[in-house]
Amino acid sequence: MTDQTQRPSADLTGDVTASEVAADIADERLIRSQGPLGLARAGLNRLRGGDLGLLPVIVGLIVICTVFYLKEPAFLSSRSLVTLTQFAAPTGVIALGIVLVLLLGEIDLSVGSVAGFTSAVMAVMVVNHGQPTVVAILAALGTGLLIGLGYAFLHQVIGVPSFVFSLAGFLAFQGALLYTLGSKGTITLPQGNWLREFARDRFLTDVQAYVLVALGVVVYLGTQLWTIRRRKAAGLTPPSLAVVIVKAVVMAGGLGYFCYYLSIGNARGVGYLFALFVVLVVVMDLLLRRTTWGRHVMAVGGNEEAARRAGIRVGWIYVSVFGLCSTFAALGGLLLAGQLTTVSQSSGTTDTNLTAIAAAVIGGTSLFGGRGTAYAALLGMLVLQAITAGLNLINVESEVRFMVTGGVLLLAVAIDSVSRRARSSSGRG
């Protein structure tokens, strides 16, 4: 009977350790015996046990916004928020790939250089060789994918640690960027180039924004109803339908008002660039939480040897993750090139690399593997961009921004370490 209870729980949550399954069963019993009060106590137990989820980064984002608003109310103006979201998107896409490799307990230090090199490939094809933008973008994305597949080969076949080959890539692709750009050193995308227009000048209409919100709410309701059905079939306590509906209503109202707020005054609303970033985050979150591939990524990151013995194709997981990471780096580099309208020798080689990694970690992705969510890229990037925008607004020097960012990153890693020990001591993995 115990084995029958454990299997559905592991299948539904993606957990792979017996201690986590046992903790889930204890929470189920508490909810069944005490109802709503038990639900609250189970949630409190999870927090005490180190299962913090996205709570720290959400609280941190609220605190940061409150502090800067009190210093300068213009920080939360619609125009300021539009700018913040637009500038967060390109590096946020790169951070999304970093989240994936961190879930495996690996690292990619070369994403910034890959972003710069692949954007140079695109710019040279468009400007110097007159190729269509679509063809150049596909070539750049294909180059990113090949780089990721090469990394997977080095890791899985030769056995080179990810830190080593990505550090080598960090240096090599900086050189490849300089070689590709040639003696001029800077290539400007022409006026009318649709990538440039997409990244800078295209914004959703009010109707489009509200339709996107409605689709997001429908996806949330669909996944929650699917979870309720699966948990009932497994004999587990499902989420409360009333709570799910309330959350959906709150989500619809909050996101709808956010879209409205971004369009008032002289603001331009939700940009295509930021909308693409959010869509990518939602899709990757669904893949990680609702597919066999996603559960296998978590399992490999949690315990590679146990995953291998369970029959998971560990090599394929590494190939897919490294391939996606470098492809996201290439896509982020293309979006950044469109936003800045140029590709230069400094593209991807300044703080792009470290910002993407910091965003993934600050967003709550564990450096130890097996824990995290795609939303870490979104929330972590918003935290970093909020810090940058706020400090610039109150005229603080750039060196202070780096020190504050470093402090926030250290705090995020410390919280992760403490919560990991708490989970271990409480039997939650």
Note whether 317 and 297 are within 8 A (CB).
yes
Identify the pLDDT of residue 48.
55
Q: Hunting for tokens 């879930």 — which residue is that?
A: 103
Structure-derived torsion over alpha carbons of residues 149, 151, 153, 156, reported in degrees to the nearest 10: -120
**pLDDT of 36:** 54
Residue with tokens 């990244």: 199
Count of alpha carbons within 13 Å of 39, Cβ hemisphere only? 7
Query: Of 374, 381, 383, whose CA–CA distance to 280 is shortest?
Result: 374
Task: Please check whether residue 301 is in contact with residue 370, taking contact to mean a CB–CB distance below 8 angstroms.
Answer: yes
The pLDDT profile of the chain, 429 residues, written as one tens digit per residue, is 333 333 333 343 333 344 444 455 455 555 555 455 555 555 555 555 555 667 788 888 898 899 999 998 999 999 999 999 999 999 999 999 999 999 999 999 999 999 999 999 999 999 999 899 999 999 999 999 999 999 999 999 999 999 999 999 999 999 999 999 988 889 999 988 999 999 999 999 999 999 999 999 999 999 989 888 888 887 777 777 888 898 899 999 999 999 999 998 778 899 999 999 999 999 999 999 889 999 999 999 988 999 999 999 999 999 999 999 999 999 999 999 999 999 999 888 778 888 899 899 888 888 888 888 999 999 999 999 998 888 888 888 777 777 887 888 787 778 767 776 665 665 555
The CA–CA distances, whole Å, from 388 to 72, 342, 383 equal: 14, 22, 9
Residue 147 CB neighbour total at 10 angstroms: 28
**Token representation of residue 103:** 């879930």
pLDDT of residue 300: 93
Which residue, 333, 328, 200, 364, is CA-closest to 274? 200
Rounded distance, CA 196 to CA 117, Å?
A: 18
